[in-house]
Structure 1
């Protein structure tokens, strides 16, 4: 195998000193964790105060590296500022990982949940750190994959989503995360409302896109567990075989709903090699590499693995929704940046991304009025995932 990983040094890729606005009392956290960690959940020496670093990726909950003697842990907490009702629910995220982790080995093991905001200023939870490289905008430094290895990685990452969608929902005890029929409608209404609330003067209204999504909703499919933030930069790879994922992170938005929307949400971030230079500027994962599937190929592969059938017109709707949802997330972060709730300079160009995503949605909508090749008319899905 030609894959190479850099095992030298002690720094964890993607971590950096904690930004001033995101600091917390590490001693207070350490004292609480020493008293409340689930017995046997970690080998870290919790009597010490850890060295704390912050992961620079992510635009929602904040993620920190806790470097203890004997092992590393991960802490998750909400950002400062005003949050919409139900957002950044640490207890919910902790529960999902704890219960789902009994069925999927790539869910990080939880250590402790603190719902008392007086300890560090917000609720937080701690989990084990999964060791391995994480693909972000590019492959980690020192990791080289040829075309065949990249193709294997791509298929294996999509299989994580496949395996999540075929989990026995009742057995996990997480069925109450769902609200029953009307999931598609609730998603359209909810994300449309969020966009209108977060819109700033220098981005488009997206009203045409939101109206089209509302008027052309597909019928609800059978519900499954959905991750709702499925991207390469939430995947941890095996250090010995970086074509094989060993972990899936960031379960903040996980719920019960339409699995095709979950796939579309993930593909909203999927910028492939033939996308224009303006979209390439906002690429956040290495989906442009030789050997990566195109978006259409991902849909075909997923459908073949799950036995799903979807028409081209249905997929156009899902695709527009996935792109619009990414636009809403980008706009929410951009609004926070403009209102100085965050000083992270990587967010200053997110308004441009919102404009580009709206244009892309409108282009797909226009194409639905013209004859186009059918994805689903090939009737893929002859080899369902066991």
Structure 2
């Protein structure tokens, strides 16, 4: 790609959304106190995509960094624990350089009204729903990108948790049961009058839970295309992995199931196509079955019971959408992007029910 084309497809920050502003002077004072060598004026813009933690671009004296803070009106503390994510990155970066280096953290609410941390900015391309006009993949490049994505997930699952001093991230015993019960409770708590009850899906998941894995691993918990950074000159290559806020230790197939919940193929039903948020349907992209085959070949793990993991991934995604929609429904936030999420919740339940109906578990 030419230089001007590369610049056009790079992930860019924009004007901060109303109600999500942060105080530049307060952030500047914090940065100068905690990071050596910073000087000059500060400019803050916001990355527009995503529905979870808020992410800002800090430009100070020509040095670019990323600031992450919880969303406005968030109710789920564990999913937005800035201190925990900072600690994970601190331990992980030396053994997995694909993750950004954390630079500073504070829980002092007087600075911007919420805990936050600052990390290095990984420059590159982040894929959204559709490829930008300036970027195209050959079928071979698309396939290679998908293979790389799954191989890198296998690398994450191969990290030695103890050697990386990541023992604090979670207990693998009873992980699947805690996930099913925890996300079911969250859905019931966040359900609004216009949302489906999902009781059939929750009952099936509770009934079909596999036993604890004998080989628990690091679990990223939100591994997908728009959480990886691509090489601007060779976009089939991945140079970074983002959003480690929900990282834990448990069954790696839960990670793969969560990933494939986002994976909409070009021949999937119309209601699934409407929920697509990443270019997983581009020509040459792996199918979900091909991804399972690639993961099995790379790790040696069986995906025989994958209907459970895929169904759970769909349900979990529905819960996340419902929790965000709850904040809009009850006017905790006025972000109009959240209004359409109720249709995603309904569509995800329908997809999960189709998995259940066709499963032989």
Which TM-score bucket, shorter chain as reference? over 0.9
CA distance in 2, matches of 1:5, 1:209: 49
Matches within 5 A, 1:10-25: 13-25=11-23
Alpha-carbon distance change, 8 to 149 in structure 1, aligned in 2, over 3 angstroms: closer
Alpha-carbon distance change, 84 to 8 in structure 1, aligned in 2, over 3 angstroms: closer
1:227 alignment counterpart: 220
Residues 339-380 of structure 1: per-residue CA shift (max 9 Å, x gap): 22223322211111111111111111111259xxxxxxxxxx
CA distance in 2, matches of 1:175, 1:101: 15
How far the C-alpha of 1:283 sits from its partner, in A, is: 1.1
2:248 matches 1:250: no
Deviates more, 1:249-258 or 1:275-284: 275-284
Which of 203, 207, 211 in structure 2 is aligned with 1:215? 207
1:259 alignment counterpart: 252
Are the equivalent residues in 2 in contact too, given 1:6–1:143 (CA < 8 A)? no
CA distance in 2, matches of 1:361, 1:69: 49
Q: Secondary structure at the match of 1:74?
A: strand
2:159 matches 1:167: yes
CA distance in 2, matches of 1:77, 1:341: 17
Which of 87, 90, 111 in structure 2 is aligned with 1:95? 87
Alpha-carbon distance change, 316 to 325 in structure 1, aligned in 2, over 3 angstroms: same
Deviates more, 1:62-71 or 1:147-156: 62-71
Number of residue pairs aligned between Structure 1 and Structure 2: 360
2:297 matches 1:304: yes
Are the equivalent residues in 1 in contact too, given 2:314–2:348 (CA < 8 A)? yes
Q: Secondary structure at the match of 1:53?
A: strand
2:186 matches 1:194: yes
Unaligned stretches of 5+ residues in structure 1: 40-44, 371-386
Unaligned stretches of 5+ residues in structure 2: none
Q: Secondary structure at the match of 1:246?
A: strand
2:325 alignment counterpart: 334
1:42 alignment counterpart: none
Which of 63, 70, 79 in structure 1 is aligned with 2:62? 70
Which of 36, 39, 43 in structure 1 is aligned with 2:34? 36
Matches within 5 A, 1:1-386: 6-7=4-5, 13-37=11-35, 39=36, 46-221=38-213, 222-311=215-304, 314-369=305-360
Are the equivalent residues in 2 in contact too, given 1:136–1:286 (CA < 8 A)? yes
Q: TM-score, normalised by structure 1?
A: 0.89
Alpha-carbon distance change, 315 to 147 in structure 1, aligned in 2, over 3 angstroms: same
Q: CA RMSD in A?
A: 1.8
Q: TM-score, normalised by structure 2?
A: 0.95
Alpha-carbon distance change, 185 to 8 in structure 1, aligned in 2, over 3 angstroms: closer
CA distance in 2, matches of 1:310, 1:28: 50
Residues 141-193 of structure 1: per-residue CA shift (max 9 Å, x gap): 41121111111111111122111000111111112212241000000000000
How far the C-alpha of 1:278 sits from its partner, in A, is: 2.3
Residues 299-336 of structure 1: per-residue CA shift (max 9 Å, x gap): 1101110110131xx11111110100000011111111
